[in-house]
């Protein structure tokens, strides 16, 4: 079945931050003399908090407040100031070269283009970042974890993107860098394309860069 | 275990993207 729609992950596909937000937050804690390592039980709790935040059930302010509290930042004023710094850092994204050219080419070939994104931040922020890196104008549909209440690799978020695009799983592909997210797309019946991936990542196709997406066999032929 | 989506971007991956983009412009718009 011919591919008609292509859905993309956003972070580390179209934009990046100089260091992951987690590392930035841990550096702040280290500078302040706070704990950077957590006991095992708190680590599990932190993962649960992230999942809640990604599903839109916990605001970014509350997520980072709890994160900082777990790391021993007891003073509320200090937590508020540090959370503000972390969120401000999150808002500075840098473009990965080739995103605009790749999407312009794929759009010209007639594909419906979408974003399937996990975030703890509001969709409007995500769209602003995509705009800043020059790709928002090509996007037709967005499935966002904080809006839908589910996050990757839950097949439901990929299926929502399909529904918005009026496509079946066999008519779509997911482009991502994360092995778990690619596996989720595969479980939803969607073809997978890895880009900016770690060694060993499993996918149906691989692109060595964003503009190399234009050479992926299933993206060569425009749909009719 | 669920991994936070923001992993960071190794320099070699950025360089690969930049090199391929330069090649793209060279082959599509070069003299």
**pTM metric for this prediction:** 0.91
Q: Are strands A172-176 and A191-194 parallel, antiparallel or unpaired?
A: parallel
Structure tokens at A178: 């994360």
Using a CB-CB cut-off of 8 Å, the residues of chain A touching B13 are 196
Contacts of A206 (CB under 8 A, 6+ apart): A193, A194, A195, A197
- If chain A, 224 residues long, is cut into consecutive pieces of 10 residues, what is the mean pLDDT of each piece? 94 92 92 90 87 90 94 96 95 95 97 94 92 97 92 94 98 96 97 95 97 97 57
Tell me the residue range of the domain where A29 lies. 21-90
- pLDDT attached to residue B6: 65
In chain B, which residues have their Cβ closer than 8 Å to the Cβ of A21? Answer: 4, 6
Predicted pLDDT at A44: 87
Q: Averaged over B3-9, what is the pLDDT?
A: 64
Minimum-distance CB partner of B24 among A23, A208, A211 = A211
pLDDT at A41: 85
Contact list in B for residue A19 (CB cut-off 8 A) is 8
Q: Which of A49, A71, A90 is the endpoint of a domain?
A: A90
- Asked if residue A185 belongs to a domain, the reply is yes
Q: Which of A90, A118, A146 is the last residue of a domain?
A: A90
Q: Indicate whether A54 and A148 sit together in one domain.
A: no
Residue A224 placed within a domain = no
Tell me, yes or no, whether A145 lies in a domain: yes
**Best of A93, A151, A196 to mutate (most B CBs within 10 Å, chain B):** A196
Using CA atoms, how far apart are residues A160 and A45, in angstroms rounded to an integer?
28
Q: Are A196 and A13 in contact (CB under 8 A)?
A: yes
For chain A, what is the domain count?
2
| Inter-chain touch A196–B8, beta carbons under 8 Å | no
What's the pLDDT score for residue B3? 47
């Amino acid at each position: 079945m011919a591919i008609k729609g292509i859905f993309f992950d956003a972070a580390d596909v179209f934009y990046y931050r100089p260091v992951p937000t987690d590392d930035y937050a841990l550096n702040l804690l280290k500078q302040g003399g706070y704990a950077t390592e957590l006991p095992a039980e708190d680590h599990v709790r932190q993962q649960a908090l992230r999942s809640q935040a990604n599903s839109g059930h916990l605001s970014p302010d509350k997520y980072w407040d709890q994160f900082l509290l777990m790391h021993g930042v007891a003073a509320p004023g200090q937590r508020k100031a540090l959370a503000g710094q972390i969120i401000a850092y999150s808002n500075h994204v840098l473009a990965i070269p080739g995103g605009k050219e790749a999407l312009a080419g794929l759009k010209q070939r007639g594909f419906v283009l979408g974003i399937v994104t996990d975030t703890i931040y509001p969709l409007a922020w995500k769209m602003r970042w995509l705009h800043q890196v020059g790709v928002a104008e090509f996007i037709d549909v967005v499935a966002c974890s904080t809006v839908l209440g589910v996050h990757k690799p839950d097949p439901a978020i990929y299926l929502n993107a399909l529904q918005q695009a009026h496509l079946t799983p066999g008519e779509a592909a997911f482009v991502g860098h994360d092995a778990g997210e690619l596996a989720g797309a595969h479980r939803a019946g969607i073809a997978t394309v890895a880009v900016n991936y770690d060694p060993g990542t499993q996918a149906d196709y691989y692109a060595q860069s964003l503009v190399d997406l234009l050479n992926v066999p299933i993206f060569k032929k425009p749909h009719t | 275990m669920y991994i936070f989506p923001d992993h960071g971007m190794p320099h070699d991956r950025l360089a690969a993207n930049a090199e391929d983009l330069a090649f793209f412009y060279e082959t599509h718009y070069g003299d």
